[in-house]
Amino acid sequence: MVTDKEIAELIFPEVKESIEDLEKRFPLRNLPNGAEVTRFAPSPTGFLHTGSLFTSMICHKVAKDSGGIFYVRLEDTDTKREIQGSGETLLKQLHLFGIDPSEGYLGDKQIGEYGPYIQSERADIYKVVIKYLLENGKAYPCFCSQAELDDIRAKQEKAKIIPGYYGPFAKYRYLTNDERKERILKGDPYVIRFKSSGNHIHKIKVTDLVHGNFEIAENDMDIVIYKSDGLPTYHFAHVVDDHFMRTTTVIRGEEWIASLPIHLELFKTLNWEAPKYAHLPVIMKIGENGNKRKLSKRLDNEAAVSYFLQDGYPTEALVMYLMTIANSNFEEWIFEHHFEHMEEFKFSFDKMSLEGALFDMGKVNFFSKEILSKKTKYEIRDMALAFSKEYDEKLYNLIKRDEDYFMEIMNIEREKENPRKDYEKFGNLYEAISFFYKDLYEQSVKENPLVFNEKFDKETIKEVLSNIRDNLKLDQDEQSWFNNMKEIGSSLGFAADRKAFKANPEAFKGSVSDVAEMVRIALTTKRNSPNLYYVMQTLKKEECDRRFNSVISNL
């Protein structure tokens, strides 16, 4: 009678190492008590999803705060879904968001003693473990064809029972070793399946750092662990990797809870201690029908982190926003800390909400404005150049015309105690600041004639603008300048403040804010702009006058 050992030898004659050898090759890590080893394990199947950024941010934070290790492992065993080069892109993008692994697959290289960190390079390691399972009757070669699988499924559907390859349906688990040997020698194609000893009517108790304690049906599926292409499946490979890479906490999306019983059974069968688990909530969005749904790659721009890069958001803003999803007390904390030093925040799994958070673009914009308002003009220039060099040629060329002038523009009401929050991203900066440039201002006026408040007739507007041109002095401080504007307004029949106007609207043409709006539109083409006093200082008297004249003569 053929033994399990002979079957194992027949399938993997080249495998000479044992699990003990692997235990020695990858010794326990020498880390202080409490240090967590976490990993981000992307598959190179496309762009970095915002949900994956969320996961990796937490992996990074947990490892860093505990003095542990955060590493990246590339899970590329599903070769059909692989997109060439996406692994490197993922790592580059993580870096832009300040997430730098200290070990593992780093895009252009691998660093660390627990590698290789690319699953397709670890076939020899997986084979050692599979051979062990075969030798011990915990795995078997399965010769089931697609037609047979379809047949099993059809029967299960008809009988309305749980679909899958398990128990009585796992027909090749009942082959004798003699039959197995014969078919292998004949060259019949096969995969290797794990032989489950569970039963789904039993429940197992699970502890999750986010979800707490809960019960879930035991696994009874004989899952495929080794495919006919010589590579393992995710379920099996990641268990082996998390064991030998000495991961202490597996942090991943909630969608993996359903297959947790498989993973726990594999750990148990191999006599390995399972890591701690933290399954993170999914990021949601209100869909077209008003219901919550997962952020979708296909439907939502904000599902891909590349969207935030292309639009020129400061990457810290997205990370800061994601931390508000991660911990309910973070928002208050970061307000108290003036949107700075978020690395000092103490993250905890207990404060993570179980419900999928709704993605809130408004909050991302809010954090962006706060963050950008705190940068110096030099930092803003550097960030704007880095962004525009890659994504916005027009902006890049504009800045390069005169970097000092660009910094002067961006420095309006910056570098002070309560800086203005005029900008949220670099993606619309060209449009926001182009009026500061003479030729672009002219082009804009030509293409889109100025729109003043229709409450005022042309004569009134002309009168206001020419009086401002002739009487408003720029070489005075902001308060005096504003008083000066009020005086000019009053002399033309405008109330000095809104209150006076509201109290007696019949007595005035409008208020000083109407005057300021006319000046603003004439000089900037817009209803909203940075502080008008500084806009005028930046443009200088001569250019302001030139614009007033041209607006007056074209009205």
CB of 326 to ligand GLU, least distance (A): 16
DSSP H or E run through 444: helix 438-447
Q: Is 235 in the site for ligand GLU (CB under 6 A)?
A: no
Q: Smaller CB distance to ligand GLU: residue 89 or 466? A: 89
Residue span binding ligand GLU (CB under 6 A) among the ranges 25-33, 40-48, 124-132, 495-503 = 40-48
Alpha helices in 140-298 (DSSP H): 146-159, 177-186, 234-244, 260-269
Q: Is 42 in the site for ligand GLU (CB under 6 A)?
A: yes
Do the Cβ atoms of 208 and 214 come closer than 8 Å?
A: yes
Residue span binding ligand GLU (CB under 6 A) among the ranges 26-34, 36-44, 445-453, 539-547 = 36-44
Residue span binding ligand GLU (CB under 6 A) among the ranges 39-47, 108-116, 354-362, 413-421 = 39-47
Q: Smaller CB distance to ligand GLU: residue 75 or 220? A: 75
Q: Is 49 in the site for ligand GLU (CB under 6 A)?
A: no
Within a 10 A sphere around the Cβ of 363, how many other Cβ atoms? 15
Residue span binding ligand GLU (CB under 6 A) among the ranges 17-25, 35-43, 393-401, 417-425 = 35-43
Strand-pairing partners, residue 284, are 294, 358
Q: Smaller CB distance to ligand GLU: residue 242 or 392? A: 242
User: Which of residues 37, 41, 139, 334 is near ligand GLU by CB under 6 A?
Assistant: 41
d(CA 517, CA 528): 9
Q: Is 238 in the site for ligand GLU (CB under 6 A)?
A: yes
User: Which of residues 43, 93, 315, 434 is near ligand GLU by CB under 6 A?
Assistant: 43
Strand-pairing partners, residue 358, are 284
Q: Is 127 in the site for ligand GLU (CB under 6 A)?
A: no
Q: Smaller CB distance to ligand GLU: residue 252 or 547? A: 252
Contacts (Cβ under 8 Å, ≥6 apart) of 34 = 66, 67
Strand-pairing partners, residue 111, are 104
The CA angle 163-168-173, to the nearest 5 degrees, is: 105
Q: Smaller CB distance to ligand GLU: residue 211 or 252? A: 252
Q: Site size for ligand GLU, by CB under 6 A?
A: 8
Do the Cβ atoms of 315 and 309 come closer than 8 Å?
A: yes
CB of 534 to ligand GLU, least distance (A): 49
d(CA 111, CA 282): 31
Q: Smaller CB distance to ligand GLU: residue 257 or 440? A: 257
User: Which of residues 252, 369, 381, 414 is near ligand GLU by CB under 6 A?
Assistant: 252
Residue span binding ligand GLU (CB under 6 A) among the ranges 41-49, 136-144, 349-357, 442-450 = 41-49
Q: Is 264 in the site for ligand GLU (CB under 6 A)?
A: no
Between the two ends of the chain, the Cα-to-Cα distance in Å is 103
Nearest to 257 by CA among 217, 229, 225: 217
CB of 434 to ligand GLU, least distance (A): 42
DSSP state of 217: E
Do the Cβ atoms of 318 and 308 come closer than 8 Å?
A: yes
Q: Is 75 in the site for ligand GLU (CB under 6 A)?
A: yes
CB of 252 to ligand GLU, least distance (A): 3
Task: Give the type of residue at 24.
Answer: K
d(CA 138, CA 506): 92
Alpha helices in 4-81 (DSSP H): 4-11, 19-25, 50-65
Q: Smaller CB distance to ligand GLU: residue 42 or 104? A: 42
d(CA 428, CA 57): 27
Q: Given the rule CB under 6 A, which residues bind ligand GLU?
A: 41-43, 75, 234, 238, 252, 256
